[in-house]
Every structure is written in structure tokens, then in C-alpha cells.
Structure 1
């Protein structure tokens, strides 16, 4: 069992691992090295911060089912000296829309989701119009709506609550960048930081998010994870959309309520999605040419939209199959990877933190088996096909 664990990255994944480790075994010495303690450029703080059960693979569904359980009980779980954190969890549901071409896939996904306990309602065209009268259903065949267990929350609040609880449990956070490692054959012995310190370790966890590839290169591993910029737009509208969920249009454009306004976005075309674009720039053309026309078509009241604010954040994008890579690589026996969540890190963070803590402390998973997300599938070129990529 590892007695000294160094975690590279203190976002939701790294802080979740740290919290679960110390909660399970207070004798383990845990150090988190975080390059940006303000989290100003952290994906945990800049994402749309939502959770869904509407995936097409069993493990992703199960991870998010645990995720919503964790978020619902976060006050009691992460309480410090009687003070309970709040992340403003709003279970407004996801609404995935399908045209006739996508209806069969939607129904298959729904059958899997409900078989695992997800509370998802399947609506035909008439049902959509009745429940969401502000919706243009002309080209639609069906929709899947999360009645409970899906919604959005304060992502920055979540990572801060995890960090504070981990610190209260004795985790040491170091404000520095990781600049290298020392190795002895297939084992990392020390992590080198920009503050000039060397941190001895029995286990290293790469939870560096969008910077995971750079950390992996330090230990001699080529990981198929890249930083992909995603722009988010906060818009206002005179529209009154009663019971508005987080809506996923068949085009991939999404929006959800944010107080009295809305936030929206979409992924750029695959041939226009380079790596490491600067975060201080926003893709305004994507809004003008794709997002706004799509929203105005789907919700006629959205013809009048005004951009109030906008920002960009990184997806740690796994170009292999858009799913996380979790576990050891055979070339480095004491380095555990937790990278490439491709936009699902906030909702899968609790299950990942719990699972990695089990792997470190017990040598195996004891609750939810995450082994299908291991390096094995990447090295054997066996992609996990997720049909509900957003």
C-alpha cells in the first residue's frame, strides 16, 4: 500500500482523489501539486457544470448515478466544523431531442439507462409539444427527458468544497507547476516542482486535466489527450420558457437556464478543432453562424437573443474514444492516470476519486469496477463507443 501519494492537478479529479484517500485512510500522506490555485483557467471552474445519466455505455451511466448521489449529499459529506458547502444543485433535467434518423438510437439508449436505474422519460412528438409548448417539434420524432438525477450546479463551488475538505483531512496543497520526475526503472521516485522542491512518492496520480499530456510525457508516456477549447455564451432573452431543462438539439447545440439568463454552446466542426487554442479568445463565429440560428429555429422565442457574457475553457479531450483513461500504464508501475474525460470530469469526478483511492489502498476496485476505462483498451485499439457525445 502506498504511504506517500503525489497528485498532479488539484481540480475536481485530483481533489476528489485526495478527499477519498484521506477519508478512507488518514495515515496516507497526500500531496496535491496545483499549478493554478486560483483555478482561473481550470476546466472545473470554466465548464457548463452539469450532470446527466443519458449516456449509451453502462459504466458512464453508473458513474453519473453515483455522481448525483454524491452531489445531493455534498453538504453532509464535505462539512467542516458544522459548516456545510452548497453547490446550488438544480435537477432541471437533460432533454435529448431526436429526428426520425436518431430515434432508434435514442430509444435503445433509454432502455439501457432505465434498466440501470436512471429516471428518464421517453416522449414522442406530441408528448414533447405538450410538456414543452415553447419547443419547435416539426422535424422531431422523440425526446428523452431526465425527470430527476440530471441538471446543473456550481462547478467552481464543487472543486473548492472538495479542496477545503481534503485540506481539513490533512492533504497538503502545493501552489506550483510540475516540471519533471525522477525514475528508477519502471517506478517514479520523486516529482519535481517549479518551486525547486522534490516530492518523494510511492504513487503518482496524473490528474492534470488539459495539461495531462505534458505530465504524461514527463514519465515517458504518449497519451491521446489534448486541450480542446470550448466557448460558452451567456445570453439573455425576453422568452419565458417554463420548465426549461438542459436541451441538446440533434445538431449538438445545447442550452440551459442560468438564473434569469441562459448559457449555450456547441462543439466546433471536427476539421476546425485544433489543440491548445488560447483561452482568452472566444469563437464568436460559432455563435453567429451555428448556435444562434439553431436556437432560433428550435425555440422561436429565441429569435431575440443578446450575448451578455462569454468565455472559453478547455476540454481534456481524449481523441481515441472521448472517454476517460483511468488506471496504470504497464510502462510505469506506480503512476495512475485519470485523464481525457472529454467534458464529463465534473460529473464523473466523485466515482473516479473513490475508484482511484480503492486502487491505491487496496490494489483493486471494490465498489464500481472502472477497469474497462484502463489503458488496455487504448493499447489494444479497442475504442469504447459512446453515442451520446455532447
Structure 2
């Protein structure tokens, strides 16, 4: 490739579901665009995409996130792989919790998302892997929600992008190269400099560490945190697909992975991962995770769900890592004061394709939803101290499944 072509190319750092879907959308809408996607691992998906549980619940008390989730589901259903519309359940057993479900039902209907409340009898008919008679329990059912296989979705976007001429290269970026206030390329760990006119950071949990090496670029409050997720033993019998389940009052969620169940919990003190490693995982932290998972499992699941009440709880346990922000909203859009630099970070699979579509329109200068773009703008925290923003972001961890309306 000629040097001039290198200078005019768009580089995306990060080949997870956000970077890969963005590469596909850009190559689809603007075939002449020169696109290179760089990632430390192309052969294996080692970022948060590779370990995400894959829950796709579309309604959120933040309207922007609801719209991005709806847009994402529209995109995922076009792929005919990696997404199953099995529905989603929010369960509550207290008067306050059930009242909140009613409020969320009203709000979701106003947002155009179908939902209905289920009583104890209707919950039993779903044949969920949960314990007890469900006495006093109600559930809010979202029939259009579902579960994703994030690696499958990511691989599909990579394949389609490659067919459109996008190049994927396995390489680690050590530094962003600038001339004045403009991005001109990236320096790889090998020392090679690759030129570009536009650079998109889809770097997830590694965003802060990359920006620390680039003093001319303002830091952003993207805080990596650890999170426990466990898988049950593989079932020795087939079961019908069931909706994913969330217990917002307990900060617990669960889904059927086909041959086994998975459970995660936010019911523990948030743990900042200051220096993420090669993968979006950390060693299992017994003192932090075991009590939280014990509470999540206790009296919640039936015996045939395949969990045990005590460690190791099931067949596999993962200390995953993902990013939080001070308002639990992604950072997406141009970076103020740095020409040619764009950001798409702290994005869940739930919102990934919707965010990628939005950023594609922004990069290509097409019409886009400006209200959502303002909500997600990377510079919205300007003027606040990094220490304050980190503390605020960590507090958001336990409110990820908040159902306040």
C-alpha cells in the first residue's frame, strides 16, 4: 500500500464486538474507506467480548441506552446467528420490588417495548431452574429481549468486514502518534509507526492505560472492574429454552447457555483493576467473590440446575473484567481538541451494534441522533477531577441492574 493510502486510512484499535461491527458498518456504507483493525489478539477474542454473559435486556431507565439496545437487537437479528429472542424476566418478591416492576412495565410500554407482569402461576409454567414455590414472587416479562453469544456475533462482523476489504492485524499498540493537535498514526510495540487520518479507540478495559502513554490526549473515566460469573455442571438432559432472569433486589442474574446455566452477581464491593492483563480476566478472588456467589446461589436454584451451595459452586468460575463510567453510560464520539480521534468504549454487548451504527454516521458526516450523541460524548466529564470520577464510577457498579424509574 502506498504511503499516501496509509495516511488516509482509518485505524480502529480493538477487534471486539464494538470495533468489528464498526469496521463492518463503515466498510458497508463507505466502500472506498481504507480500514485497518488492530488488536493484540485476532485469533482469539480475549477482551470483554470474549467473556461477556450475553444478556440483552433492552429497557433502561436511561432513554439513550434503551434506544441503543433496540438498535442493537435490530442489527443482531439481521445476522441470523448469535442472538436468540428467548425473552427476559425481572423477578421480585417484596412489595417494593413488585411495585417497581409495575412502574417499569408502564415505562417500557411508553418506550415501545412490549412487556407484561406474570404472577406465581405463570412463572411456574415457564419451568425455570429456580427453587421453591415462588410464593409472593412476581415477574416482569420482556418477550423481545434475549441472549447473545458475543463471540459468534463478533466473528460474524469480522467475517463480513473482511469480505468488504477491511484488514485485521494482530498487533499491540503502545502509543498514539500526534502532530500538533491531530492524530497521525499509532506506534506498535514492535516500534513500527502506522499512519492514519482517523483513529477510533474501541479499546475497552485498556483505554485508560493507553491514554496514560499519550500525554497530549485528555484522560477519560473508564474504570476496569472485576466481576464473578460461574457456570453450572453440564446437564445430562435437554430442557426447553428459558428467558434470562434478573433479581434486581439481590443484584443477581442468570441465563441458560444451552448445555449449562450461568450466574453472575454485583452484590459485592467493587474492585478496581488498575492494570488489566492480556485478557479481560483476573484470578478468582475468594474473599471478595465467594460470599457474593454463595448469597446468589442460596435457595434460588433447583437441584437440577447444576450448582452447589459452596465453592467451586459449579463447573467453572470466571473473574471477568469490564469497564464502568461515572454515569454507567458509554463514551462515544469525537475527542474534543484532538483532530481525527474518536472513542467507543465502556460499551456492553447490549448496546454495541447500536453504538457502532451511531459512530459510523458521525464519522461519515451523516445525519445521526444528536441527543444520544450528547449523552455519550467523551468530554461530558470535563472539569471534574480524575479521583472524584473514579470513585463515582466505582459506586455505579452495584447499580448496574438498578430498576429505579
TM-score by length of 1: 0.84
2:322 to 295, 315, 336: 315
Q: Distance in 2 between matches of 1:67 and 1:387?
A: 24
**Residue 143 (1) aligns with residue 154 (2):** no
Structure 1 residues 136 and 336: CA distance shift in structure 2, 3 A: farther
Structure 2 contact 220–378 (Cα < 8 Å) conserved: no
Shift of 1:25: 0.6
Is 1:96 matched with 2:125?
Answer: no
1:293-312 correspondence to structure 2 within 5 Å: 293-301=295-303, 305-306=307-308, 307-312=314-319
Between Structure 1 and Structure 2, how many residues are aligned? 373
1:338 CA drift (Å): 0.9
Structure 2 CA distance for partners of 1:111 and 1:324, relative to 1, 3 Å? same
Aligned to 2:232: 235
Separation in 1, partners of 2:306, 2:12: 46
Partner of 1:199: 194
RMSD: 3.2
From 347, 350, 361, give the equivalent of 1:358. Answer: 361
Distance 1:12 1:313 in 2: 16
Secondary structure class of the residue paired with 1:159:
helix
Question: Which piece of structure 1 moves more, 230-239 or 185-194?
Answer: 230-239
Question: What is the SS of the residue equivalent to 1:143?
Answer: strand
Separation of aligned partners in 1, 2:357 and 2:198: 16
> What per-residue deviation string (whole Å, max 9, x for no partner) do you get for residues 229-252 of structure 1?
223211037899766321112211
Distance in structure 2 (CA, Å) of the matches to 1:272 and 1:327: 28
Cα deviation for residue 112 of structure 1 reads 2.3
- Asked if 2 retains the 8 angstrom alpha-carbon contact of 1:210 and 1:226, the reply is yes
Residue matched to 1:119 = 114
Q: Could you tell me how far apart the structure 2 residues matched to 1:387 and 1:227 are?
A: 14
Q: Tell me the SS of whatever aligns to 1:14.
A: helix
SS at match of 2:177: strand
> 1:239, 1:379 → 2: CA distance?
54
Structure 2 unmatched runs, 5+: 1-6, 309-313
Q: Which residue of 341, 346, 349 maps to 1:340?
A: 346
Question: For residue 3 of structure 2, what is the aligned residue in structure 1?
Answer: none
Distance 1:142 1:110 in 2: 12
Alignment of 1:9-28 (within 5 A): 9-28=14-33
| 235-244 or 308-317, which deviates more | 235-244
Q: Unpaired segments of 5 or more residues in structure 1?
A: 76-85
Aligned to 2:256: 257
Q: Deviations over 1:147-198 (max 9, x none)?
A: 12x2212211111111111111111212111111222222111211123322
Distance 1:280 1:35, change over 3 A: same
Q: Does the alignment pair 1:47 with 2:52? A: yes
Distance 2:189 2:159 in 1: 23
Distance 1:40 1:386, change over 3 A: closer
Q: Which residue of 2 aligns with 1:81?
A: none
Report the alpha carbon displacement of residue 368 of structure 1 after superposing the two structures with TM.
8.7
Taking the aligned partners of 1:387 and 1:269, their CA distance within structure 2 comes to: 8
Report the equivalent of 2:291: 289
How do residues 181-192 of structure 1 correspond to structure 2 at under 5 angstroms?
A: 181-192=176-187
- Name the CA distance, whole Å, in 2 between partners of 1:379 and 1:100: 41
Q: Name 2:4's counterpart in structure 1.
A: none
Identify which of 370, 374, 383 aligns with 1:371: 374
Alpha-carbon distance between aligned partners in 2 of 1:262 and 1:54, rounded to the nearest angstrom: 23
Instruction: Give the deviation of 1:358 after TM superposition.
Output: 0.8
Whole-Å separation in 2 of the counterparts to 1:253 and 1:223: 29
Shift of residue 50, structure 1, vs aligned partner? 2.3
Is 2:232–2:316's contact at 8 Å kept on the other side of the alignment?
yes
* Alignment-derived partner of residue 246 in structure 1: 244
Could you tell me how far apart the structure 2 residues matched to 1:191 and 1:256 are?
Answer: 40
User: 1:176 and 1:254 mapped to 2: Cα distance?
Assistant: 35
Give the C-alpha shift of residue 205 in structure 1: 0.7
Deviation at 1:225, TM superposition (A): 0.9
Q: TM-score, normalised by structure 2?
A: 0.81
- CA 1:350–1:220: 2 relative to 1, 3 Å: same
